[in-house]
Amino acid sequence: MSLYKDIIEKKEAIAVIGLGYVGLPIAESFAQKVRVIGFDTNKKKIELYKKGIDLTNEIGDDTIKNTKIEFTSDEDKLEEAKFFIIAVPTPINLDKTPDLSPVIDATKILGTKIKEGSIVVYESTVYPGVTEDICIPILEEESKLRCGNDFKVGYSPERINPGDKVHRLENIKKIVSGTDEEALEEITNIYTLIIKAGVFPVSSIKVAEAAKVVENSQRDINIAFMNELAIVFDYMGIDTNEVIEAMNTKWNALNFRPGLVGGHCIGVDPYYFI
């Protein structure tokens, strides 16, 4: 019997590790269909969620008050799940190098809780290779199990646009990947439960990791380029907006404009790529 079937029949549970603006909407979407354990090490955050207060403003207090998510900061509660989603932050250090400590810490915790047949999916933004070269060895070391034989791993980058009430989790196509075909099939089936826009399977975890880093880096670079142009055009007495409007009359123009780069990931991901 597949893990997907066990989950939809509520014989097994999904656990979401990290309940910020990414993890909370995922947990809530799944909780409308299956049993979900929402875990975060921040006890104050968990207490506020239990009181019906949405710190992220992503799903709203009314939804939190009526959610079926089982909120917890107790690591042992994770033992009740078999499908795990890690959605913790991936910031950068002062020297612009990736700070992988949240992912590593979450992986160490989870490594002591997974069992045979478990599937672990990472959603945190990382550079290509982190899941297989850093996370899987930690899971194996902590669990004393072998990836591929005893448990499976996948990567499905988060693409949530914080504060956007139009482009929501369920209507953004989901990239999925796995360590093997069996893992990919299970992960695809499980995410299909909540993603109305459909999923997009790729051939490897590294491809999925790279896709997330590149889609954000591309946006950051293009906006930065337009900002530089705006500075130059200002010196030259040229209206930047008029230049862009003229440029956009060509069918293949990229409609980027000068401005701020929003969101946590956009300004961080180029450093992960580097």
Q: Who's near 195: CB < 8 A, 6+ residues apart? A: 169, 170, 172, 173, 174
Find out whether 159 and 172 touch, Cβ atoms under 8 Å: yes
Please tell me which residue in 136, 175, 265, 268 is annotated as part of the active site: 265
Does residue 157 share a domain with residue 46? yes
Does residue 239 share a domain with residue 157? no
Separation of alpha carbons 267 and 274, rounded Å? 13
- Residue 57 has phi, psi (to 5 degrees) of 60, 20
Separation of alpha carbons 102 and 93, rounded Å? 12
Separation of alpha carbons 113 and 122, rounded Å? 16
Find out whether 161 and 263 touch, Cβ atoms under 8 Å: yes
pLDDT in tens, 44-56: 999 999 999 998 8
Does residue 195 share a domain with residue 229? no
Average pLDDT over residues 117-144: 97
Among 203, 225, 259, the domain boundary falls at 203
Average pLDDT over residues 147-168: 85
Task: Kindly indicate the confidence band of residue 168, based on its pLDDT and cuts at 50, 70 and 90.
Answer: confident
**At residue 80, does pLDDT exceed 80?**
yes
More confident residue, 150 or 272: 150
Determine the pLDDT at residue 59.
Answer: 87
Determine the pLDDT at residue 16.
Answer: 98
Among 167, 185, 203, the domain boundary falls at 203
CB-CB neighbours of 88 under 10 Å: 23
Active site (annotated) includes residue 147: no
Task: Kindly indicate the confidence band of residue 147, based on its pLDDT and cuts at 50, 70 and 90.
Answer: very high
Q: What is the mean pLDDT of the chain?
A: 93
Domain that holds residue 247: 213-273
Percent of the chain predicted with pLDDT > 90:
83
Amino acid at 47: E
Max intra-chain CA distance, the chain: 69
Degrees, nearest 5: CA angle 153-157-158: 130
**At residue 1, does pLDDT exceed 60?**
no
pLDDT in tens, 10-45: 999 999 999 998 999 999 999 999 999 999 999 999
Chain center to CA of 115: 23
Q: Which two tokens stand for residue 252?
A: 């293949």
Does residue 149 share a domain with residue 46? yes
More confident residue, 219 or 151: 151
Average pLDDT over residues 239-248: 96
In a domain, 157, yes or no: yes
Among 154, 179, 203, the domain boundary falls at 203
Average pLDDT over residues 137-164: 92
How would you classify the pairing of strands 152-155 and 174-178?
Answer: antiparallel
Separation of alpha carbons 118 and 106, rounded Å? 16
Average pLDDT over residues 201-221: 94
Determine the pLDDT at residue 170.
Answer: 86
- Integer angstrom CA distances of residue 78 from 118, 123, 194, 259: 11, 18, 21, 43
| 120 sits in which H/E element | strand 119-122
In a domain, 208, yes or no: no
Determine the pLDDT at residue 238.
Answer: 98
Task: Kindly indicate the confidence band of residue 267, based on its pLDDT and cuts at 50, 70 and 90.
Answer: confident
Q: Which two tokens stand for residue 148?
A: 């591929």
CB-CB neighbours of 117 under 10 Å: 15
Separation of alpha carbons 73 and 65, rounded Å? 18
